[in-house]
Chain A
Amino acid sequence: MMVRNVFRRRSPIALSFFEMAISYLILIIWAGVVLFPLYWLLVTSFKLPIDVNMGPFYLPFVDFQPSLHAWDYILVGDLANDTRRNYFNTVVVAPTSASLALLLGTAAAYGLTRFEYRPRLGIILSFLGALVLVFAAITLGAPWQIAIPGGVALFIILLQTVARRFKRSLKNNDIAFWLISQRMLPPVAVVIPIYVLFQRLGLLDTHAALIITYLAVNLPIVVWLMRDYFQSIPIELEECAAIDGASRYRIFWSIVLPLAVPGLVATFLFVLVFAWNEYLLALFLSGAKSQTLPLTVAAQNATRGPQWWYMSVLILIMIVPVIAIAIALERYIARGLLVGAIKG
Chain B
Amino acid sequence: MTTERVSRSALAEAGIGIEAPTVSAARPVGSRIERWAGNVFILPAVLVVLFLSILPLFISLSLSLSRLKFVKGGFEINFVGLANYHKLLFGSEQDHFVGVIASPSPLGWVFFLGVGAFLVWWLVRYIRAGGYGMVGLVGRVLTMVLLGLLAWLLAHTLSPGGRPGTVVVTLLYVFIGIAVQYALGLLLATLTTQRLPARRFFRVVFLLPMMITPVGIAYTFRMMTDTDKGPFQPIWQALGLGLYSWVNDPWGARAAVIISDIWQWTPFMFIVLLAAMEGQSVELMEAALVDGASRWQVFWHITLPQILPVSTTLILIRLIEAFKIVDLPNVLTNGGPGTATESMTLHAFIAWRTLDLGGSAAIAYMLLFLVTFLSMSYVNILRRRVVEA
The chain A residues found within 8 Å of chain B, CB to CB, are: 3, 6-7, 9, 11-15, 19-20, 23-24, 26-27, 30-31, 33-38, 40-41, 44, 52-56, 58, 104-105, 107-108, 110-112, 114-120, 123-124, 128, 131-132, 135-136, 139-140, 156, 159, 169, 175, 179, 181-194, 196-197, 212-213, 215-216, 219-220, 223, 235, 238-239, 242-243, 245, 247-249, 251-252, 273, 276-277, 279-280, 293-294, 297-298, 301, 306, 308, 311, 315, 318-319, 322-323, 326-327, 330, 333-335, 337-338, 340-344
Contacts and interface: CB of A to CB of B under 8 A. Distances in A.
B385 to A, nearest CB: 13
B360 A123 contact: no
Given A294-B327, A315-B213, 4 more contacts: A7-B195, A132-B55, A215-B52, A280-B326
Contacts of B289: 11-13
A131 B53 CA distance: 12
Contacts of B324: 186-188
Contacts of A3: 278-279
Contact of A169 (B15, B62, B207, B314): B15
Name the residue among B18, B41, B317 with the largest chain A CB count within 10 angstroms. B41
Tell me the interface secondary structure of chain B in the complex.
Answer: helix
Nearest to B283: A6
Interface string B269-290: 0011011101100100010011
Given A119-B14, A131-B50, A276-B213, A107 B327 contact: no
B387 to A, nearest CB: 7
Contacts of B275: 334-335, 337-338
Contacts of B215: 277, 279, 294, 297-298
Interface stretch (B85-93, B153-161, B227-235, B243-251): B227-235
Interface string B3-25: 10000001001111011111110
Contacts of A333: 207, 271
B368 interface: yes
A205 B328 CA distance: 24
A341 B42 contact: no
16 contacts: A13-B286, A27-B202, A34-B206, A114-B23, A118-B16, A123-B13, A131-B50, A184-B372, A185-B53, A189-B57, A194-B52, A212-B48, A279-B326, A298-B215, A322-B212, A334-B272
B210 interface: yes
Interface residues of B, number: 122
Contact of B272 (A53, A213, A341): A341
B223 to A, nearest CB: 6
Interface in B164-186: 184
Contact of A104 (B45, B77, B272): B45
A179 B52 CA distance: 12
Given A38-B208, A41-B220, A123-B14, A318 B213 contact: yes
A136 to B, nearest CB: 7
Interface stretch (B102-110, B125-133, B141-149, B344-352): B344-352
Contacts of B279: 3, 338
Interface in B193-218: 194-196, 202-217
Interface of B: 3, 10, 13-16, 18-24, 26-27, 30, 34, 37-38, 40-42, 44-46, 48-60, 62-63, 77, 184, 187-188, 191-192, 194-196, 202-217, 219-224, 228-234, 263, 271-272, 274-276, 278-279, 282, 286, 289-290, 295, 309-310, 312-314, 316-317, 320, 323-324, 326-327, 331, 344-345, 348-349, 352, 357, 360-361, 363-365, 367-368, 371-372, 375, 383, 387
